[in-house]
Amino acid sequence: MDGKEKQPGNQAGSEAQKRKQFYDAAEPLLERYGYRKTTVEDICRTAGASKRTFYDLFQDKKDLLIRMIADLMEEEVVNLRGDLDQLEDPADQLVLFMNLYTRLIVDRPIFRLFITDPSLWVEIFSGFDLSDFDAFMNTLQIIITRGVEMGRFRQIDPYAGAMIFSSIMDSMYVLLPSLFNLPGAGQDPKLDAEVRKFILSGMGVKDV
């Protein structure tokens, strides 16, 4: 075989690396300037890549954002399920999920962007397949269902429990510092500990 012939696996890997290059460039720009003010030119300049390369990978800025979220969520779901399999207690699984959720909304600007501007979520993802995001939240519902079945959690609807969980986490870790200029649970260890205890207690865990 000619050594110059492209291998499908290598090409796919190269494309994934190029996409990540644009993701890494775009995320801090989106945090600083917002989605609407960040341009493809800005992203390409920061990435040190051409617009031609950008458009070889993405249709437009919206497509980049969708793919960024999808790739990130796919990776996180795979890693999360592997880690959950190592734990027997649903309460421990819920703590693990809290740790991951906290890391995503505190450390990743892309998620904070959507939490602080819900209209952007509608604008970007309206009519789009959100199966990767659904898989992430469905994992939480599975944890809650298992906890109820084992008697570790109180009787609670898994969907309602997942929505309450995400609302509390988004509010205390992102919206509190964003809207009121106060330290959120991501900056205040005591508040962080109380939020976690509050959620576990709300699920009916006795030994918090």
Q: What is the DSSP secondary-structure string of 66-104?
A: HHHHHHHHHHHHHHHHHHHTT---HHHHHHHHHHHHHHH
Residues 74 and 48 in one domain: no
Residues 75 and 151 in one domain: yes
pLDDT in the model for residue 135: 83
What is the Cα–Cα distance from 143 to 79, expressed in whole angstroms? Answer: 15
**Contact present, 41 and 100 (Cβ < 8 Å):** no
Sign of the four-CA dihedral 124, 130, 135, 140: positive
When divided into structural domains, the chain yields a total of 2
31 part of a folded domain: yes
Residues 17 and 104 in one domain: no
SS3 14: helix
> Which tokens sit at 40?
């493809």
What is the Cα–Cα distance from 149 to 151, expressed in whole angstroms? Answer: 5
pLDDT in the model for residue 114: 87
Name the residue range of residue 166's domain: 60-202
Instruction: Find the CATH number of the domain harbouring 38.
Output: 1.10.10.60
Residues 169 and 76 in one domain: yes
pLDDT in the model for residue 12: 54
Low-confidence residues in the chain, pLDDT < 70: 1-13, 128-132
2 part of a folded domain: no
Instruction: Find the CATH number of the domain harbouring 110.
Output: 1.10.357.10
* Residue linked to tokens 């051409």: 50
Please write the tens of the pLDDT for every residue from 58-77. 999 999 998 998 888 888 88
Residues 40 and 69 in one domain: no
What is the Cα–Cα distance from 158 to 141, expressed in whole angstroms? Answer: 5
Residues 17 and 73 in one domain: no
**Contact present, 44 and 54 (Cβ < 8 Å):** yes
Residues 107 and 163 in one domain: yes
Residues 78 and 120 in one domain: yes
Residues 164 and 64 in one domain: yes
Residues 75 and 126 in one domain: yes
SS3 65: helix
Sign of the four-CA dihedral 23, 26, 32, 34: negative
Please write the tens of the pLDDT for every residue from 47-56. 999 999 999 9
Residues 52 and 152 in one domain: no
The percentage of the chain sitting over the pLDDT mark of 90, rounded to a whole number, equals 66
Model-level pTM? 0.83
CA distances from 136 to 26, 39, 54 (A): 23, 29, 28
